A and B are shown apart, each in its own frame.
Chain A
């Protein structure tokens, strides 16, 4: 019986700072706590994970990354393949992997969320690179698949999940999630539209239109009046350097 699922050691509690991100989470027969989970309780934080304690026949991956800080969050997945056919109780029996993707990203900047995928498919159905917010796609055998799922939380923060899948009432899978609060700036700065080089005109799934520096009040991101690089302002963060 596999009903006990696969349990990972718990990471930090999800009830953390108001800006947070995680690359993957699964609930049901396959359980994966939000990994890597980061929030800004300790200031700017980033984590990468290159393997999960999950059997290879269920899941394989390249890199998972998540980072969060004041007013921003981002998560990304490289080279993911999830196939849950080895969980017979789920009754999936798909001929293709449940999810295969070369890259999945979700980012949130000052309350503005976006996501994008590359070389991605769900049950063999190819996904749009940058789907509009809350795009539902019908996949036979799955209860729901939502791309670029965006939710406004009770505290006013926004959560974006690049791919959210429910197989049935036994299994859910969230891939690349980012939650950010609306920045506490004066709101006067215009939000520059994304102008990524060679943008194909689609919704910009990356944070190419970053306005995070504006929300930092421009602190430390501009030359002084003489064109000299600015003296940095230390930013609350946590990074284990090599002591």
Chain B
């Protein structure tokens, strides 16, 4: 199985480009051989000045990027990326910059799921409001660490069920609790943004915050209304809609969920 195929493919693209600039005759040959699409695939990001960079808001769970393109719902690629430095996030391949993606989310290394690629560019989901925010980053080897992630979590609110899958195969199902009617768990394609050993709240030793936010709680406690997955001190939640939007799971389920890589997609229907 080729688990690092994407990364190697990116490497080949770069080699092709380097060859292309080596000679005009060769360049002409490559362009005609590869067709017009290749030119767009290898486009480098346009220059972003220091001043523009300073203006760009950080993409964290505290952010609200109203201009972000929304998740188009394309099939996930199974690839996750970790930015090695703050990366500019664009609205499209070589489009308008609108945010920067920092290297950490709540102390954990940032990993974002890739939902589309175009040459060295990757469309990734973002941890900010609004729900489903996405953006394009230039994902060259010097910019990002790339990895495969074959896990997906499926949450069915109506059935109060959470399932972990690997390569589409079910690894287990658990009964969960979800948000109450007035503060529902939001529906959509979220992902795990961090793994928190919670130091203040004592309802769950580990909290897995998701990229999604409550639609009804603009803020919650001191936080920005981030929806999370965590356990609860008693089993009053099992099969109930009584949280403020979070997904409450049993300790048994949490023990499995904490092993999932950051960037793992959580489909909530």
Contacts and interface: CB of A to CB of B under 8 A. Distances in A.
Contact of A242 (B86, B147, B150, B244): B244
Contact of A235 (B54, B197, B200, B226): B197
Contacts of A202: 50
Interface residues of A, number: 68
Contact of B203 (A70, A116, A243): A243
A223 B148 contact: yes
Interface stretch (B11-19, B22-30, B56-64): B56-64
B222 A240 contact: yes
Contacts of A231: 259-261
A37 interface: no
A48 B261 contact: no
Contacts of A116: 50-51, 53-54
A238 B201 contact: yes
Interface in A41-98: 42-44, 46-48, 63, 65, 67, 69-70, 72, 74, 76, 78
Nearest to B79: A229
A111 interface: no
Interface string B90-105: 0000000000101110
A187 interface: no
A197 B88 contact: yes
A236 interface: yes
B62 A48 contact: yes
Contact of A206 (B54, B84, B109): B54
Interface in A184-222: 192, 194-200, 202, 204-210, 212-213, 216, 219-222
B230 A241 contact: yes
Interface stretch (B31-39, B68-76, B116-124, B206-214): B206-214
Interface residues of B, number: 79
B145 A222 contact: yes
A154 interface: no
A169 to B, nearest CB: 32
A123 interface: no
Given A197-B138, A227-B4, A44 B107 contact: yes
Contact of A118 (B4, B52, B111, B217): B52
B85 A237 contact: no
A223 B60 CA distance: 22
B258 interface: yes
Nearest to A198: B47
A180 B60 CA distance: 20
B48 A72 contact: no
Given A210-B85, A237-B107, A241-B220, A198 B148 contact: no
Nearest to B205: A234
26 contacts: A46-B61, A46-B106, A47-B62, A69-B106, A76-B58, A116-B54, A198-B49, A204-B50, A207-B103, A209-B85, A210-B85, A210-B103, A216-B109, A221-B103, A221-B109, A222-B147, A223-B145, A227-B146, A228-B149, A228-B261, A231-B260, A234-B258, A239-B207, A242-B217, A242-B226, A243-B244
Interface of B: 3-4, 7, 45-55, 57-58, 60-62, 80, 82, 84-86, 88, 100, 102-104, 106-109, 111, 138, 142, 145-150, 179, 183, 194-201, 203, 206-207, 209, 214, 217, 220-228, 230, 243-246, 258-264
What 3 pairs between A and B have smallest CB-CB spacing? Answer: A44-B107, A240-B221, A198-B47
Given A200-B50, A237-B199, A241-B228, 16 more contacts: A44-B196, A65-B62, A67-B60, A116-B53, A117-B54, A198-B48, A198-B49, A200-B49, A213-B103, A227-B3, A227-B4, A227-B7, A232-B258, A234-B197, A236-B196, A241-B230
